[in-house]
């Protein structure tokens, strides 16, 4: 957190009723110099405020000494900041600007509202341990099955039913972390054709993407509880509007992005083939939380034949670079069946 910036006061004109003595004038000059140095320190940021407060409490020092100390410390901090700034500029000159882990997509063809989704350029962040944060509107633990998935409440163990002690504990944890809950249940979340089992059991939390900042801490607390009680249970937090599926809308031939997508298709196919990862389809759609292309983001959908592997994180990032950030990239489940 940056220190607050304090605005320095304008010069104050002192009107004296009589001509001051030389000693009085020197005292005024010293005090004004001290005040000026004090305000210069306050405007420097970093340690400036703490130093200014320290100088304010130096009541035992002579005024001339306090003013000199203030000027010396101000100059020292200024030199340090100049050196840091010079080092940063030299580093940027040699290595260029670093990439942000998350960047909002810029769609040239539409004006997007605040509901638009910011897709991460890094699929799974290292600092999130084994949390799944690939999609901005869906987080969980551990790695969740790629969308789309089926949902079933059949054969849920009684120990995880709505009236169980575990569900009461889950509710308390979510409340403690200020995570707004639209619905909470234990379900099976799975790909079509996958048999129901303990491995498909999921604590499904329907929330809102506007509260995504609270999702990570809440998931970690739930994860600790699940491990402590030796439960076999996934944790999934998802925007309540897309629990049953993300809105997927076609790219029209007259869309401004259509020519760009056509040009990039062959390059993406070559990149996927070179990755060695199994994939089944490559499609372009608008995907989002609202049933309108204006509210969604143009997206490259890469179909995979089974649950997504972590190796796709690097591939997804390369595809993002290929499209220059103009399109989102999402891995989805696409099973190939021969008839």
Last-in-domain residue among 242, 275, 295: 242
Last-in-domain residue among 44, 77, 95: 95
pLDDT of residue 195: 93
Looking up residue 314, the CATH number of its domain turns out to be: 3.30.300
pLDDT of residue 84: 46
Q: Is residue 13 part of a domain?
A: no
Find out whether 286 and 252 touch, Cβ atoms under 8 Å.
no
pLDDT class for 8, splitting at 50, 70, 90?
very low
Q: Is residue 333 part of a domain?
A: yes
> Quick one: 235 and 157 in the same domain?
yes
| Residue 69, C-beta contacts closer than 8 angstroms, at least 6 positions apart | 55, 58, 61
Q: pLDDT > 70: what percent of the chain?
A: 60
> Quick one: 65 and 29 in the same domain?
yes
Condensed to tens digits (0 to 9), the pLDDT of residues 254-309 reads 999 999 999 999 999 999 999 999 999 999 999 999 999 999 999 999 998 876 67
pLDDT over 80 at 69, yes or no: no
Q: Is residue 6 part of a domain?
A: no
Q: Is residue 32 part of a domain?
A: yes
pLDDT class for 325, splitting at 50, 70, 90?
confident
Q: Is residue 151 part of a domain?
A: yes
More confident residue, 79 or 157: 157
> Quick one: 169 and 265 in the same domain?
no
> Quick one: 221 and 146 in the same domain?
yes
Q: pLDDT > 90: what percent of the chain?
A: 51
Cis amide bond preceding 142, omega within 30: yes
> Quick one: 230 and 294 in the same domain?
no
Q: Is residue 4 part of a domain?
A: no
> Quick one: 219 and 166 in the same domain?
yes
Q: Tell which residue, 117, 115, 109, has the closest CA to residue 328.
A: 117
> Quick one: 54 and 77 in the same domain?
yes
Q: Is residue 82 part of a domain?
A: yes
> Quick one: 238 and 293 in the same domain?
no
The two beta strands, 234-239 and 201-207, are parallel
> Quick one: 113 and 162 in the same domain?
no
**Average pLDDT score over the chain:** 74
> Quick one: 129 and 250 in the same domain?
yes
Q: Is residue 160 part of a domain?
A: yes
- Full domain range(s) for residue 112: 99-133+246-339
> Quick one: 148 and 238 in the same domain?
yes
> Quick one: 276 and 298 in the same domain?
yes
Find out whether 201 and 234 touch, Cβ atoms under 8 Å.
yes
Last-in-domain residue among 212, 242, 272: 242
Q: How many domains does one find in the chain?
A: 3
Q: How far is CA 167 from CA 138, 170, 190, 222, in A?
A: 21, 5, 21, 11
């Amino acid at each position: 957190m940056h220190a607050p910036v304090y605005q320095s006061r304008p010069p104050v004109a002192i009107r004296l009723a009589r001509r001051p003595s030389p000693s009085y004038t020197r005292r005024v000059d010293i005090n004004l110099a001290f005040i000026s140095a004090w305000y210069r320190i306050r405007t420097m940021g970093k340690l400036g405020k703490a130093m200014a407060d320290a100088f304010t409490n130096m009541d035992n020092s002579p005024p001339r000494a306090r003013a000199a100390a203030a000027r010396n410390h101000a100059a020292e901090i200024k030199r340090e900041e100049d050196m840091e700034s010079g080092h940063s500029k030299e580093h940027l000159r040699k290595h260029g600007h670093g990439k942000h882990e998350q960047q909002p997509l810029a769609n040239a063809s539409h004006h997007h509202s605040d509901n638009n989704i910011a897709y991460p350029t890094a699929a799974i962040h290292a600092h999130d341990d084994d949390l799944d944060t690939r999609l901005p509107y869906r987080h969980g633990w551990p790695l969740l099955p790629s969308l789309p998935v089926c949902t079933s409440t059949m054969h849920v163990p009684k120990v995880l039913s709505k009236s169980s002690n575990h569900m009461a504990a889950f509710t308390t944890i979510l409340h403690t972390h200020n995570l707004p809950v639209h619905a909470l249940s234990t379900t099976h979340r799975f790909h079509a054709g996958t048999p129901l089992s303990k491995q498909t059991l999921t604590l499904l939390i329907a929330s809102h993407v506007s509260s995504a900042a609270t999702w990570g801490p809440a998931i970690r607390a739930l994860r600790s509880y699940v491990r402590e009680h030796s439960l076999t249970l996934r944790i999934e937090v998802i925007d309540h509007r897309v629990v049953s599926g993300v809105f997927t809308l076609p790219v029209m031939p007259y869309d401004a992005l259509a020519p760009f997508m056509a040009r990039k298709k062959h390059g993406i196919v070559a990149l996927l083939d070179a990755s060695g990862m199994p994939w089944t389809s490559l499609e372009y759609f608008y995907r989002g939380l609202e049933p309108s292309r204006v509210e969604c983001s143009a997206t490259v959908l890469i179909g995979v034949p089974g649950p997504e592997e972590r190796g796709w994180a690097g591939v997804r990032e390369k595809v993002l670079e290929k499209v220059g950030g103009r399109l989102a990239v999402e891995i989805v489940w696409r099973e190939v069946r021969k008839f």
